[in-house]
Amino acid sequence: MPVSHAELTQMFEHVLKLSKIDETQSVAVLKSHYSNQMTVAAAMEAAQRLGAKVYGVELPAFNHKTAMGNDLTAYVGHTALTGHPAGQEALMAADLVVDTMMLLHSPEQEAILKSGTRMLLAVEPPEMLARMLPTEDDKRRVVAAQKVFEKAKRFKVTSAKGTEFTAELGQYPVVTEYGFSDEAGRWDHWPSGFLFSWPNEGSAQGRLVLDIGDILLPFKMYIRDEPVTLEIRDGFITEIKGGFEAEYLRDYMAYFKDPEVYAISHIGWGLQPRAHWTAQGLHDKNDAIGMDARAFYGNFLFSTGPNTEVGGPRNTPCHMDIPMRNCSVYLDDQPVVVDGDVVAPEASIVRRSEPR
């Protein structure tokens, strides 16, 4: 259902309060012509209502010649801020940047965060923002899972469909997303509610079997034809087998002519009970970037391509997120997700009974 401007402004005020915005803070709203103008206006009005010093930074759109389509996650690394030191300095001057453009995976974003400025990405439609309005309990569950994740040395995933995947951990940090940015240098995304890390370089091994109903992002496409099998060796996808979706995936990745696109990037699981794997079917592809799919409770989410955001060596523009259902995730052989349900005590919720 549509969200009014007044409702969205109230929600932004809630999220900015969680992000510790008050009259001592400054807020920059990063925007372009393609930003959701209702989101931009609500963010600026909410910051004003909290007494913050708010200003806008507007940049022109950016389109790389290699990019296909207009999904904000389909080409990463280069943005309208690339080679724009004046714009970068304007954002670094703020305590919080509300990003309605998408700077993710860019070196400019990392420089802004390292300066101590915190960032909040908000590019999904208002109706999605409303349904997944973040809470302190969202943070509690994600941080509880983070504490378990950070102690682990080995990550394992299995499924009844044949997934057998392992990776070693410890080289890279655990990253959390709970929907607000409340610490210096923190990046977060409203809406969200999940966590992830990266395998040690070269350690990911095994097989991932993407089943009917799993989702390919940024295509925003459910697998419908037949399962897709990804063979993984020494951190890279070496073979993609299956029907139409496998062929589609092979051709898309080959288009970039870059071996780095086949690397396994971040791995983790979803913890947001208000996100739903079915929601993608209710949106046109240009409506949203698919945060329901990335965050839904109990998914196993893995990605391919870059890892520069945590200091890794891979800077490739092709970044895919693939959330899978009905998997079991183990840390050091202790289950945290079993058949698509979160079982780690502090990170789980009491779920209502559902018909089978």
Q: 159 and 87 in one domain?
A: no
Does some domain include residue 354? no
Q: Is residue 355 part of a domain?
A: no
Average pLDDT over residues 16-25: 98
Residue range 87-97: mean pLDDT, rounded: 97
154 and 41: one domain?
A: no
pLDDT at 356: 42
Judge whether 318 lies within some domain. yes
Shortest CA distance to 332 belongs to which of 148, 147, 144, 145?
A: 148
- Residue 44's pLDDT is 98
The answer to whether residues 119 and 143 belong to one domain is no
pLDDT recorded at residue 339: 98
Out of 123, 143, 158, pick the residue that ends a domain.
123
Taking residues 106-112, report their average pLDDT: 90
The residue out of 123, 145, 173 marking a domain boundary is 123
- The per-residue pLDDT for range 40-61, each reduced to its tens digit, is 999 999 999 999 999 999 999 8
Q: Is residue 292 part of a domain?
A: yes
CATH code of the domain containing 114:
3.40.50.2300
Residues 92 and 211 in one domain: no
Q: How many CB atoms lie within 10 A of CB 55?
A: 14
Reply yes or no on whether the pLDDT at 352 is more than 60. Answer: no
Which positions ≥6 away from 6 have C-beta within 8 Å?
A: none
Domain of 146, in residue numbers: 134-347
Q: For residue 139, what are its two tokens?
A: 């943070």
Residue 75 and residue 40 share a domain:
yes
- Residue ranges of E strands in 198-350: 205-210, 215-216, 221-222, 228-233, 236-241, 264-270, 300-304, 320-324, 327-331, 334-338, 341-342
Q: What's the pLDDT score for residue 351?
A: 52
Q: What is the mean pLDDT of residues 186-204?
A: 97
Q: Are residues 189 and 325 in the same domain?
A: yes
> Do residues 40 and 142 both lie within one domain?
no
Q: Which tens digit of pLDDT belongs to each residue from 309-329?
A: 888 888 888 999 999 999 999
Any domain includes 352 = no
Task: Band the pLDDT of 71: cuts 50, 70, 90.
Answer: confident
In this structure, what token pair is assigned to residue 286? 């240009």
Q: Which residues pair with 159 in a beta bridge?
A: 327
Q: What is the pTM of this model?
A: 0.93
Q: Check whether 272 has a pLDDT greater than 60.
A: yes
User: In which band, very low, low, confident or very high, does the pLDDT at 350 lie, cut at 50, 70 and 90?
Assistant: low
Where residue 246 falls among pLDDT bands split at 50, 70, 90? very high
- 170 and 302: one domain? yes
What's the number of domains the chain is made of?
2
Same domain, 313 and 272: yes
Classify residue 30: in a domain, yes or no: yes
